[in-house]
Chain A
Amino acid sequence: MTVVPQEHGWRAQRSNALALPLLARAIGLLIVIAILARAVSVSLSENYPLTFWVSQLVNGLVLGGVYALVALGYTLVYGILLMINFAHGEVMMVGGVAGFFGLQIASSLGWLDGSAAALGLLFALLAGMGVAALTGVTLERVAYRPLRGAPRLVPLISAIGASLFLQYSVLLIFGVRPMVYQRPALIADGLRAGPVFVPYTGLIIFVTSLLLMGMLVAIVQYTRLGRAMRAVATDKEAAALMGVDVNQIIALTFLLGSALAGAAGVMLGFHNSVIKFNSGFIPGLKAFTAAVLGGIGNIPGAMVGALVLGVAESIGPSALGIPAEYRDIIAFSVLVLVLIFRPAGLLGEVVVEKRA
């Protein structure tokens, strides 16, 4: 997992084969111009105040922060294993469910009253992260490790199966009713600057996602664990010969990514109040989109991709003057347009060149 965007090997060959992207790019350019023209004309005619755009930007950054927390896990696993863990969104949901019960326990112990509330929140967060990490590691052991030597599509299908398994397990055990997070007074309010309101939950999500991204980069680049991860990513056999416990490193990768997803689940619960069995599906899909948008395998890329996606979804409908229910179209149009111009994503894929 070196942080040099790779433009050679099989990837370079493929981009040569796609020598006709000239046409695609021309079409893409036309679309971009049309979108910009539309955005300008709508903004001029609607005459929204500046604070409106700031509010929408805040909404978008928070939404992007949620996507980022999930996307970081996606990209981490992809960077090491070249495997798309489609169950990652569900791991987030499991974390959210565990956080809900953590919160119930904390509340019954009186940890949410007054000044102790921070303790209760931390407990809920740790519960979510712990259970999610456990789920992720178990998934790796049961659903992915036995298939490590198999063709790449096989673990992908296994991941889809795992995703459904987790969804319906939660459905069977806890039922279809959404679990409702009661926000303690400590984080119920927010910052208010004139008409712009930033809920504390949103602020926490955004700041946490930035911190965790920094932490992940530091771990991967500057620690022994990170060095081992990069070694495993480059060549599993050689790493094993050098004394790296490959199984352990991969399990640790899943542990790290899943704990992040668990944190995302709990924070999403606080921010949007409800978690239920299929709460992980859409954020998982969007996070995957964000990871591809930023350049899959690239940790800062996942962050950038997630924020771009969140802001596009939030500002897009207003800027283009279309109903808000079409925001998913905007999200995926952004993906298509970015991939036309930068097939490796905004910051470039970080794919270690595998030995043939």
Chain B
Amino acid sequence: MSLLTRLALHIPAPVVACALLLAACAAPPVQPTAPAQPAAPAQPAAPTEPPAQPAVQAGVVVVPAGGKIRIGGSFALTGPIPDPGKDIRQGAEIAIDDANAAGGVNGFLLELVAEDGACSGDQGTVVGNKFAADPTIVAVTGGTCSGETFGLKPILQRARIPFVSPSATNPAITSEDCDVCNRVALSDALQGQVDAEFVYNELGFRKVAVMHDSSDYGKGVAEIFRDAFVKLGGEVVAFEGAKVGDTDFRAPLTKIGVSQPELIFFGGYATEAALIAQQMKEVAGLEKTKFMGTDGAYTQQYLDTAGSAAEGTFMSYVAGDTQADKLSAFREKYIAKFGIEPEKLGPFHAQSYDSVLLIVEAIKKVAKTDSAGNLLIDREALIKAIRETSGLAGITGTLTCNPIGECGAGGVQVFTVENGAFKQVYGFGLR
């Protein structure tokens, strides 16, 4: 039963159908007849490419005259953080709108192909396969969560589709051996380190407990924090895990309570963080213990769920080097289009905008128009162009990609909750 239901939960039937019928799913509106192409069979197609697709010339995306440039998006629309996922998708849509309003690329308009990565590795794999099977997908923005992005990574690497994640923070998302992997968000290698320094130096705590939600993201940042805190000279009295979706944390909290730590650090998402903040108030030994979460929980949803238990808790966030004028212009368009302030949903809308911006600017550099009026985008050239991005002015600062694909600017900020709102107390950009 468990297996059956789980399978059914994770793989929506239409997606399976698409994965099986590669050709049938390849977006009909952009099917060109491509008379100008040299005979396709003459060129040996790459083994991962579906054979005999008229749109596919090995390693080149052909957008027929009048067609649109399709950018894939993997967003966590369901799963543990649906609101931040929606926010990231909407940020990307604004970026596409802006690019189209500015004339697109050589007169070709852009289109966002949004898929639900569900913040999970399984679903990331499904989305990755879907994009890899679609020869019209030029590049991908996403995924939202680290686990989801680990699902995308090997598939997109094989399919030679570059991606830029606005919000996946696990250090291993980018690596030496992955030339298609890029991100705008800052790595947890930085966040875990700064959080440890904040707790050790600023709060002066020496004895902490660390919890995580067993996700790639949560466990990753929790381990980095633990190691950094121990290196600073502090003591980590417990390292306890839970699972994404758990709602009762009283047993592990009771265990942690025995050693009476000064702070509990939690790597994970908003709902679990809020429930821990709430339930630790019931546990002996944790009466005076503070709580600290990470960027996955830095949301309105955390405040709403934890209620009064959120007061005085800490939250860190991997902030961009936000450009106030650009952000306010972005917010105006966002509110006009979606009728909600982006901060109410999640923190990563600006990074999402910049991820798309980075992709579009790179496409502009490599796109060529052929004699028949088709737009040609060479995949390898695009992968290189994204990695060579330098000095690009985005909302989150000046974006420059380093050799392994870390493109973001900014630093880590730490907030506390005061009267039901976040207030910065430490870190990057604090005045």
Contacts and interface: CB of A to CB of B under 8 A. Distances in A.
A46 to B, nearest CB: 8
B275 interface: yes
A48 B214 CA distance: 26
A274 B305 contact: yes
Interface in B65-82: 77-79, 82
Given A52-B254, A59-B254, A274-B305, A324 B240 contact: yes
Nearest to B284: A195
Interface stretch (A122-130, A175-183, A207-215, A218-226): A175-183
A313 B252 CA distance: 10
Interface string B3-16: 01100110000000
Contacts of A62: 250
Contacts of B250: 59, 62, 314
B285 A163 contact: no
A180 B301 CA distance: 10
Contact of A314 (B83, B245, B251): B251
Interface string A6-33: 0000000000000000000000000000
Contact of B5 (A55, A279, A281): A281
Contact of A60 (B245, B251, B255, B258): B251
Interface string A188-217: 001000111101000000000000000000
B278 A176 contact: no
A238 interface: no
B1 A176 contact: no
Contacts of A49: 258
B283 to A, nearest CB: 7
Nearest to B270: A178
Contact of A274 (B214, B241, B275, B285): B275
B241 A324 contact: yes
Interface in A257-287: 268, 271-274, 278-279, 281-282, 285
B271 interface: yes
Given A164-B8, A177-B301, A273-B278, A197 B284 contact: yes
Nearest to A163: B5
A167 B6 CA distance: 12
Given A317-B251, A317-B255, A171 B301 contact: no
Contact of A324 (B8, B252, B284, B301): B252
- Is the contact region of chain A dominated by helix, strand, or loop, or is it mixed? helix
A59 to B, nearest CB: 5
Contacts of B305: 178, 180, 273-274
Contacts of B254: 52, 55-56, 59, 318
B82 A176 contact: yes
A279 B251 contact: no
B79 A323 contact: no
Contact of B82 (A86, A177, A327): A177
A323 to B, nearest CB: 5
Interface string B191-218: 0000000000000000000000010000
A271 B2 CA distance: 25
A325 B214 contact: yes
A324 B255 contact: yes
Interface in B228-254: 239-243, 245, 247-248, 250-252, 254
A49 B83 CA distance: 42
B418 interface: no
Residue of A288, A313, A318 with most partner-chain B CB within 10 A: A318
B332 interface: no
A63 interface: yes
A55 B247 contact: no
Contact of A323 (B5, B241, B278, B282): B241
A49 B257 CA distance: 11
B402 to A, nearest CB: 34
Interface in A296-319: 313-315, 317-318
Given A272-B247, A318-B255, A160 B5 contact: yes
Contacts of A273: 247, 274-275, 278, 305
A281 B213 CA distance: 18
A202 to B, nearest CB: 9
Interface in B1-54: 1-2, 4-5, 8-9
Contacts of A285: 1-2
B240 A160 contact: no
B241 A176 contact: no
B82 A175 contact: yes
Contact of B243 (A60, A268, A315, A325): A325
Contacts of A314: 250-251
Contacts of B285: 195
A51 interface: yes
A276 to B, nearest CB: 8
Nearest to B8: A164
B271 A323 contact: no
B282 A197 contact: yes
Given A274-B247, A274-B271, A317-B251, A177 B83 contact: yes
B343 interface: no
Interface of B: 1-2, 4-5, 8-9, 77-79, 82-83, 214, 239-243, 245, 247-248, 250-252, 254-255, 257-258, 271, 274-275, 278, 282-285, 301, 304-305, 307
20 contacts: A49-B258, A55-B283, A86-B5, A160-B4, A160-B8, A176-B77, A176-B82, A178-B271, A178-B305, A180-B305, A197-B284, A271-B248, A272-B275, A273-B305, A274-B247, A279-B247, A281-B9, A285-B2, A314-B250, A318-B251
Given A59-B254, A86-B5, A178-B271, 4 more contacts: A48-B258, A49-B258, A194-B284, A317-B251
